[in-house]
Structure 1
Amino acid sequence: MLRRNKAAKEQWAGLHQALDRWLEERQELLVRYCQIASLPPYDKHWEQLPPAKEIRAFCEVLIDYVSAGHFELYDHILVEANAHNHSTEAFGQKIYPQIHTTTEVALDFHDTYAEVCDTDSLPSFTPDISKLGEALQTRLELEDQLIALLADQDVTERTAAGNEVIS
């Protein structure tokens, strides 16, 4: 997941300021996810489960990221792309339900763990963090497809204006 986000940041950096900020938030989310899930390069970071304060901090970043996508970026991407390619509406109708499914998983995780005070009483944490990881992976793939719509529109505009496009 971290490599996917790094590639996205490199590919689409500078396209839009809001997108750049959102990709930075996505990076923070993924780093924190890897930390609390004890994934490389943070494997064996915790002896048992992560401390409650780390889980709560992750939940804050998770909800901020999910909210930013839904309330700030997704509609903007589709509106911008739709202005140049009418087929994006169908694409948006296909992808939104899938993103919504990942949002539900993220919200369930947040609701379960955002107020956790003691990690001794978290028997479901490992399967829950695993389920969230799968949802995040799916979400990244879907978001990258949305970002590609915006990037394709930007490339088309630059090409039409006679500017050289470097791949």
Structure 2
Amino acid sequence: MLEDCTNAQERWGGVHQLIDRWLEARRALLVHFVDLKASCDAELEAVSKAHIDAFSELLMDYISAGHFEIYPQLREEARAFDDEPALALADRLMERLEMSTELVLAFDEDYASSARCEQHLARLPAWIDRLTKGLGERFELEDQLIARLHAAHSPDAIRTEADSRA
């Protein structure tokens, strides 16, 4: 999954500063996620609430940035280019993204307090497995959003399209 993140950053990096920062936040999230998983695999009882909190904070920040900064920016760009097919795709993808958002919120709730963390610690490996699948799907959907709603409107893409019509 970390390799896919690097590939996405190489593919979309430099296109827009906001997306660049978001992809960097994704990379940092994945580094913490891999570290948390390794800690769970090594000695689950030694995983601290602070370790879970650090990951959860990055996760919530990443999800929030997507919903409140990135997705609206991408939709606005598609609107500016009168790209109705891209907007329709965004609506379909957003419905699918909501599923992983619900997963993230449930994880955050399960580990929100020290008591809940202690109560749910044995379930952390199962949560890690669910998050692996859910975040992997989320990143794929987000990359599709970037590709269709932003990269398609980049100056290079517009020049290529104009050249092909000439």
- Tell me the TM-score normalized by structure 2: 0.85
Task: Tell me by how many angstroms 1:88 deviates.
Answer: 1.1
Q: Structure 1: 5+ residue runs without aligned partners?
A: 163-167
Alignment match of 2:62 (pick from 53, 58, 65): 65
Residue 34 of structure 1 corresponds to which residue in structure 2? 34
Alignment match of 2:106 (pick from 105, 108, 112): 108
Residue 127 of structure 2 corresponds to which residue in structure 1? 128
Residue 48 of structure 1 corresponds to which residue in structure 2? 44
Task: Tell me by how many angstroms 1:51 deviates.
Answer: 2.1
Q: Is the 8 A contact 2:40 2:124 kept in 1?
A: no
Task: Tell me by how many angstroms 1:120 deviates.
Answer: 5.5
Q: Which amino acid aligns with 1:93?
A: D
Task: Tell me by how many angstroms 1:115 deviates.
Answer: 2.7
Distance in 1, Cα, partners of 2:107 & 2:92 = 24
Residue 86 of structure 1 corresponds to which residue in structure 2? 84
Distance in 2, Cα, partners of 1:151 & 1:112 = 37
Task: Tell me by how many angstroms 1:117 deviates.
Answer: 6.3
> Alignment identity in percent?
37
Distance in 2, Cα, partners of 1:99 & 1:12 = 20
Distance in 1, Cα, partners of 2:48 & 2:63 = 23
SS in 2 for 1:15: coil
Distance in 1, Cα, partners of 2:116 & 2:142 = 34
Task: Tell me by how many angstroms 1:118 deviates.
Answer: 8.5
CA-to-aligned-CA distance 1:12-70 (integer Å, 9 cap, x gap): 111111001000100011111111112xxx885x4225222110110110100000000
Distance in 2, Cα, partners of 1:117 & 1:3 = 35
Report the RMSD for the aligned CA atoms in angstroms: 2.2
Q: Which amino acid aligns with 2:94?
A: Y
Q: 1:98 to 1:161 in 2, by over 3 A?
A: same
Residue 25 of structure 2 corresponds to which residue in structure 1? 25
- Tell me the TM-score normalized by structure 1: 0.85
Q: 1:100 to 1:48 in 2, by over 3 A?
A: same
Higher helix share: 2
SS in 1 for 2:84: coil
Distance in 1, Cα, partners of 2:160 & 2:134 = 36
Q: Structure 2: 5+ residue runs without aligned partners?
A: none
Distance in 2, Cα, partners of 1:129 & 1:112 = 13
Q: 1:130 to 1:144 in 2, by over 3 A?
A: same
After superposing the two structures, state which structure 1 stretch, 116-125 or 137-146, moved more.
Answer: 116-125
